[in-house]
Structure formats: structure tokens, C-alpha cells
Structure 1
Amino acid sequence: MRHLLVTALVYVLTLTISALLLADEQGSPSAAVENSLGMKFVLVPTGEFLMGSDESQDVLSQDYPQYERRRVQELGDEAPVHRVRITQPFYLGQFEVTVGQFRKFLEASGYIPESVADGTGGYGYNANYDPTKSDSGDAFEGRDPKYSWHNPGFVQGDNHPVLNVTWNDAIALTKWLSEKEGIKYRLPTEAEWEYACRAGTRTRYASGNNPESLKKIANIFDADAKEYWPRWAQFALSGHDNFAFTSPVGSFAPNSWGLYDMHGNAWEWVSDWYANDYYAKSPIDDPQGPADGIVRVRRGGSWHTWSLYARSSYRNWISPNSRYSLVGMRLVREVPER
């Protein structure tokens, strides 16, 4: 354990030096570039970090006592902790893709999102829906054609994160932007996402180890949201963030690299296929995830996510054509070759 701690400190120091050098060359780490849809991107430096979590079930059960033991037993895919090296800098969306930006894409491209194209819709909040009386037991009503990217069942402004988008919708956006601007856009890899979320930290959250620290940086399940879902009240943070549903992007403090909402607000699609044993065989340099699979990874948690599942290391997965009232996206804009 002592050896691992020393190694982690060395990596964090290396990461910090790399970030400072890159900032010196190309401006402040929080300086953003803006694209044709009004998306802002922050330069993420090269560097190394320790990916994943090796916290024991006993420790997690002690620190998250409101959760059933089986929930911490299901976190084995976060191990083993492994060294990852990001060898190329990249621009990452400073914010999650917004409703307004997605609308501009649809209007300019003519693309029809899957929730509309296949006629089955998405998921949404309905005050009269009772999960205990539904076949799925899901927290939200759906699929239903009345729900889609522009209607998750609650009011959103153009500056809120777009939801009910599939992995395929996200890929369509990246392809269109790449062709329009002549610069490659894509989804981040799972490794790039965790690297950027941590921003040099090794704690559970970019804000520290205490779940209550999330109130400074994240819109997740808290006292405001629990009023709508009292059956899960024990999982809510104790305080109020003044948002029962999504918040405008950037409503909370950024991490040290100038990235907002890396925890909470909307789950974010990443490019990787999912495999629960991938970490054991992951390459050190720029891991891309398994070569194939059935489900894709999403990261970061949402406005409805409990704190255990908003940790930097937590992995979630879902079918590429899934659309849900908690899931959005954040894009990578690659650095042009000199």
C-alpha cells in the first residue's frame, strides 16, 4: 500500500508539471476554444495517472452505510488500479453538450435522433407514474414517443444538458462536426474521461472523498430531488443544490482543469465497449477499450445519481441505442497536427 501511494504521488507530480508546461506554451489550462455550435473546449495535457479504484468492500460499506452490501460487491470492474499514460493532448468539452447546441446540429444537418426516427421515443419524468406498479420498475416512464431529446418530462432551457440521446446520436454529431469544420471530433475514451475528471486527484471525487463535498461541484441526487422520489431518500445528499432536475451547464464549480459537471447533471457517453475484465489487460498507453462488445460505457453520473455511483472511478454501461432521461454527452476535439 505504501509503494502504491508513493507511485501515485509521483504520477500526480508528473501530471501537474505536464499541465503547467502545456499551460505555459498554450495559455491558461482553463482558456477555451469555441466551435461553430458554440461549444467550448479546454485543452487537457498529456500525462500519467492511476485509473480505477482498489477500495475494499469493507471500507466502502463503512463509508456508505446506507447502501446494501451487494451494491459495493458489484464494483469489482473498477479494479485493478492500473497505470495509464495519455500520450497526446486533446480538447475536451468544457461543458456537456446542451439542448440548444443539439438543436442547432439537428437543424443544420437534418439528422433525426433515434428516439424520433424509430418511433419508440425515450424516457421521462411523470409525476403520476409509479415505478412499483410498472413491469420494469424503472424510475422513469418510457419508452414512449412523447419523450425525446426535447422532452425529458421536465422543463429544460437551451443551456441545460441534452438528454435522451443514444450513443449513435453522439457519433452522428461528431461525424457531422468533423466534416463541417475539418477538425476531428469524437467521444472521449473511458481512460481520457477519467483522467480529465480526476484532474490530478486520487480521491473518490475531484472535490475529495466525502460525498457531501459534491455539493460544490455537482448536481446529483440531493434534498431537492428526494422530494420527488421519497422512496430513495436515504441515498440523497443532506443539503440542497437548488435543482431537483438538470441544472444549466456550468452552474457549479469546475475541477482544477476548468471542466464543469464531470460529476453529475448528465451521464456522458464515452467511446469504449464495456468488458468487466478489461482493466486487467489494459495497455499503458492510450487504452481504447475492448475491440468489440455489446454495450457501451457511460461515465460521471447525473442529476438523479446517488453519490456512490458518481465517483470518478465508477463505470456504467448500456446499449448503444439506449436513450434515457439521465444520459447526455461531452465531446473531444482533437488537437490539429502541426
Structure 2
Amino acid sequence: MNTTFKKLFPTLAVLFYVAPASAQSATFTNQIGMEFVLIQPGSMVVGRFQPPYPKPPKADSASKKAAEGLQWTNKDYQMAEKLVKQDAKPGFTVRISHPFYIGKFEVTQAQWKQVVGNNPSAFQGNKVKDEADRHPVEQVTWQDTQTFLAKLNALDKAHHYRLPTEFEWEYAARAGANDDISWRAIWASAQMGSTTTAKVGQKTPNAWGLYDTLGNVWEWVQDFYNEKLFADPAPPRSGKQHVLKGASFVGDVKNATYMTHAAGPGNGWDVGFRVVMETK
């Protein structure tokens, strides 16, 4: 059955036909061992930015004591509130209307080699072979991912593989969360602050069973970059670069967020991807 794909704006519903959710397994492994997780429909608010700002201390003595030494005036507090409210963004609602499968892990070096026949990764050097194979493939451009997908679609004609849209990626990565991830949760789930990539799936998965959505490698998505910190309700139809999501192993907790996006090609050696699978 042919897959149909349609985008509606401004709330952006991502529509494509798949078998009824009740008839689909929660997980799926394809013929080359790529594992996928079924993502159910839902909605989220994208681009909401409500930064905190200092407020006058309360009347109790403990609060006053904590504020000692700041020497802020009421005018200072009012200015802080004004500046923050100027930059705050309410965001917009995105609706994912139909289920889709997305990679449980980032595409590994072993999977890339099996499909494409080479290994462009920088971090494969002196590792034990099996360990290197389980690291995410990196040093891949957006165009390289299209080569991988074309070859994978030729190998498996029962399914259609593609990059996720930015909204599909963020919806799956957030796993139902309304707000940004806490720093404690980042350290538990993200491969960050290191000098090399790590084997996929070594840390805590998100609530929907996906690993390494933050850290390890940046991940390519389908959309063009809009030259802004946040996505727009209607993704651009053209652009100079494509969007990267999720941060990489060289970052820290300040870089790890679902909410913002970056543009490729990045460093190259810390850029990879994960895959969406549609059922024909």
C-alpha cells in the first residue's frame, strides 16, 4: 500500500497511512538488525521559551538573608522582568496524527557497513571490532544519509525508510515531556562530556524506550534549517543547511536540549542520525 504524506499548517499535523496501531507491534527489528519503537500519536508545544528571572525577596528573614549582598533595587528587578518577557516565546502546538516507527538507537557503524559497504567514522581506530561496530556511525553528511536510506529501501521493500522530520524527532525524544529535561536526567541518559562516542544504548532510555536522543552524536533530520534558535510552525521548503538535533558527546548539560536546533554540517565527527520506518 502506498504511503501518503501531507503537512497541514499552522499547527502542522504529520500524516501518513500505516496499519492501525492495534495491529502493529510496539517494537520491530528489520532484516539487518535495526530496532524500531512504535510512537503513538499526540501533540506537544514547540518553541516555548519562558526563562526564569530574579524576583524581589519575600518578607521573611531567611529570604532577606539569602538576598543580602545582591544590592538589587526594585528598579533592577523590574528591568529583569521586562527584558525576560521581551524574549519569552509562547510556542505553538504541533500535532502528530498517526503512529510511526523510529530507531531505538542511532544508526551504528555495523549497520552502515552492512548497507553501504564502508565506514566513514572517525572513532573506529583501535577499538575491539565488535565494540567499534556498536558505536554510532558519524562523519556523515545529510547527503550521505540519503545514500544509506536509498540502499536500505532497496534491501527491504516491505518498508519505507527516511529521516524523521524535526517535529517527529522532537516528539519522540521528549516522550511526553512538556518541559525541557532536567540536568540530573541529562547525566543519566546522555553520553556527554567525553572525548569519543560511546556504544549505543549504554545509558538510561527515555520514557518511550529510545536511547541517546541527547548526546553521543548530533542527529540529522529531514527539515531545512530556518536560521533561528527555534523551529517555525511551517518548516522552510528550502535552505542552505539541514537541521541537527540532540547535541553530541563533546557537549555538556547546557547544550543538551530537545527544544532548540542547530544546523549541519557541524564538526562531522560528532554527527550521525536515526531512522524512521513507515509500513507500506
Tell me whether the two structures share a fold, i.e. TM-score over 0.5: yes
- 2:50 maps to 55
Displacement, 1:37? 2.0
Report whether the alignment pairs 1:333 with 2:274.
no
- Report matched runs for 1:97-176 at 5 Å: 97-107=107-117, 148-149=120-121, 151=123, 155=127, 157-176=132-151
Report whether the alignment pairs 1:296 with 2:248.
no
- 1:216 maps to 188
Using the alignment, how far apart are the partners of 2:23 and 2:44 within structure 1? 22
- Report matched runs for 1:33-112 at 5 Å: 33-56=28-51, 58=53, 79=89, 81-107=91-117
| CA distance 1:78–1:259, shift in 2 (3 Å) | farther
* Cα pair 1:254 1:260 within 8 Å, conserved: yes
- Residues 81-133 of structure 1, C-alpha deviation per residue, up to 9 Å, x if partnerless? 110011221110000000111111122xxxx78xxxxxxxxxxxxxxxxxxxx
Instruction: State the TM-score, normalizing by the size of structure 2.
Output: 0.72
Using the alignment, how far apart are the partners of 1:77 and 1:299 within structure 2? 22
Displacement, 1:78? 10
Given candidates 158, 163, 168, the residue that maps to 1:192 is 168
- Please state which structure has a larger fraction of its residues in helix: 1
Secondary structure of the 2:180 match is coil
- Residues 183-208 of structure 1, C-alpha deviation per residue, up to 9 Å, x if partnerless? 21100000001000111002212xxx
Secondary structure of the 1:48 match is strand
Secondary structure of the 2:201 match is coil
Using the alignment, how far apart are the partners of 2:271 and 2:167 within structure 1? 19
| CA distance 1:179–1:280, shift in 2 (3 Å) | closer
Using the alignment, how far apart are the partners of 1:41 and 1:78 within structure 2? 36
* AA aligned opposite 1:165: V
Report whether the alignment pairs 1:317 with 2:263.
yes
- How many residue pairs are counted as aligned between the two chains? 227
| CA distance 1:58–1:278, shift in 2 (3 Å) | closer
Displacement, 1:178? 1.5
- Report matched runs for 1:177-188 at 5 Å: 177-182=152-157, 183-188=159-164
Displacement, 1:79? 4.9
- Name the % identity: 35
* Cα pair 1:79 1:280 within 8 Å, conserved: no
Displacement, 1:309? 1.6
Secondary structure of the 2:255 match is helix
| CA distance 1:35–1:280, shift in 2 (3 Å) | closer
Gaps of 5+ in 1: 1-20, 60-72, 114-147, 226-243, 284-288
- Report matched runs for 1:204-283 at 5 Å: 204-205=180-181, 209=182, 211-221=183-193, 225=194, 244-276=195-227, 282-283=233-234
Displacement, 1:301? 1.0
| CA distance 1:152–1:275, shift in 2 (3 Å) | farther
Using the alignment, how far apart are the partners of 1:310 and 1:187 within structure 2? 21
| CA distance 1:178–1:79, shift in 2 (3 Å) | farther
* AA aligned opposite 2:218: W
| CA distance 1:278–1:89, shift in 2 (3 Å) | farther
Q: Runs ≥4 in structure 1, deviation > 2 angstroms?
A: 24-27, 55-59, 76-80, 150-156, 276-281
Using the alignment, how far apart are the partners of 1:153 and 1:177 within structure 2? 26
The higher radius of gyration belongs to: 2
Using the alignment, how far apart are the partners of 1:167 and 1:260 within structure 2? 21
